[in-house]
Structure 1
């Protein structure tokens, strides 16, 4: 079983095609999909229900730091009340460039909203963080009270990952094509973190390698193969452990 810890269903269908997605997820594979607008979530939700993929693809909705629409807070809470989502996210902070840094106030407000709702409804958070881990640490006490935190496409060092865990955060870290691109920090994290804290993802159809127009849903296979190689495990053993972990952590909520 391949478990993709993070992808975006609606744009993935648009780029990769309906039939390819259905074929992949009707073959005992599982995933978490994130949406960030009302329209996107409603399309995502309808697709999953219409194709009987409940329990196969878990749904998340969040206020993304690159598009911090705090006006979606009421809609997000409505989804939580109705138990239409299993996770909140992705949310977090992104100071990758000057344009994003200018949205610091909006990003912080959006992140606080998602964090508070995660605590209120006791659901996991999917965190996106670029160039802002130090600022996120100011909220670490609250983050540590969440039932689970998935640090999607973790872009920091093993030391920083371990520091998060030492603060009593029930955190897990997912990695995508950056490990195929020789990213030293990501590869080091995979090598040094225990298996029960690791997951693989595609972020499909985004996070492409040089020369690619988009990321395929099936690219999760390449990520798993490289993850197994880095951990010096057989692909079968690597898949079995991550699959077991996904069932224990995500499919129990």
Structure 2
């Protein structure tokens, strides 16, 4: 398995990150992509990627902090993108839930990171919270299909999923697809083509059932995979192989 989105760089793992990584490996997590989204978390993501052969980094700027994004930080992201362990740009996107950066600031930061991903030829990792229409519109208008990428922890409907697939994006599911009341993610998960499906934890957030509300960790990505296999009526082994191949293809991993 490959956890395509994990925050081992979060403060929640400060005391026991080595143990968390060991448990993930024991659970069958082959590789992990640690996502950096501000100065502190990017530095930690790069450190982890340098320390572990099987950990990779994604570097981007989160929409909630878009007000702090400037040309200097954009240039820094471009510099980091040349590192062999950096496999994506993001997470970037839009977040209309937290009122910490204006929509205009978020749109500008998002567009600049799409342009960067196309320039450095890396896929995007997209954060979308309460902003489905604008996220999709900007991806289409900025020709993000040229870079492709992941709709991280997808929460849209079937129609939006199809639109994202049409512009060269993979659909990734995390813990919420295991929640008992998650009718929409379960419905959408059944419709994604085999070759465009990915799994993630977004740990330490969004722990899957039966750990909902507790600290998530990458070992739990197995529970996401089990739920998807059940929903799609395929074997766990088949889906494990498929999602691993998908992640390797997207991130150009050998």
With structure 1 as the length reference, what TM-score do the two structures score? 0.87
Partner Cα distance (2:190, 2:223) in 1: 17
Matches within 5 A, 1:100-249: 100=100, 103-139=102-138, 140-166=140-166, 169-181=167-179, 182-208=181-207, 212-249=213-250
- CA displacement 1:111-158 (0-9 Å, x = unmatched): 011011111112100001112121123320423442322000111111
- CA displacement 1:19-78 (0-9 Å, x = unmatched): 231353475611221012223222222233233x2xx22210111012223132221122
For 1:61, the equivalent position in structure 2 comes to: 59
Tell me the CA shift for residue 103 of structure 1: 2.0
1:81/1:216 CA distance change after superposition, 3 Å: closer
Q: Give the RMSD, CA atoms, in angstroms.
A: 2.3
CA contact (8 A) 2:114 2:144 kept: no
Choose 237-246 or 18-27, whichever is displaced more: 18-27
How many residue pairs get matched?
Answer: 245
Partner Cα distance (1:29, 1:164) in 2: 27
Tell me the CA shift for residue 252 of structure 1: 4.5
Tell me the CA shift for residue 164 of structure 1: 2.7
CA contact (8 A) 1:6 1:33 kept: yes
Partner Cα distance (2:61, 2:160) in 1: 24
- CA displacement 1:168-202 (0-9 Å, x = unmatched): x1110101111111312211111111111111110
Partner Cα distance (1:120, 1:150) in 2: 17
With structure 2 as the length reference, what TM-score do the two structures score? 0.87
For 1:21, the equivalent position in structure 2 comes to: 21
CA contact (8 A) 1:16 1:216 kept: no
Structure 1: unaligned runs, 5 residues or longer: none
Partner Cα distance (2:42, 2:61) in 1: 12
CA contact (8 A) 2:154 2:171 kept: yes
